[in-house]
Amino acid sequence: MTDSVPAEGTVPEAGPADAAGWLTLPDVAERLDVPISKVHQMIRDRELIAVRRDGVRRIPADLVANHTVIKHLPGVLTLLADAGYDDEAALRWLYEPDESLPGRTPAAALAGDQAREIKRRAQALGF
């Protein structure tokens, strides 16, 4: 998992490319000012998404900006789960470059004023 170049035929890991763009679960708990058990519950309830990177569960830092979870993230995560996306695929979808969106990814647009459009696109994946 530490290879910098993916093996042929594999899909690169989704999410922020920079290691500074990731937070560990204790970092998220500190940022949100909640106990670590609450962070685990938020992941189980699909209020947050966490994936393993280098053997440690991590969350993209921009999803917990300003000491809170991005407002519409839980709804989008639920829509993606309903469409059959696992956590890795959902994260890949959130960070897939899209020139038609401000911020150039669904995750960046979700943090802005395009949340309704991102929800509409996520809902359309189920059909």
State pLDDT tens for residues 15-34: 666 656 899 999 999 999 99
DSSP H or E run through 96? none
Q: What is the pTM of this model?
A: 0.82
Tokens of 83: 């469409």
Report the alpha-carbon distance of residue 30 to residue 23 in Å, rounded. 10
8 Å CB contact between 80 and 87: no
Q: What was the pLDDT predicted at 18? A: 65
For 43-81, write each residue's pLDDT tens digit.
999 999 999 988 999 999 999 988 899 999 999 999 999
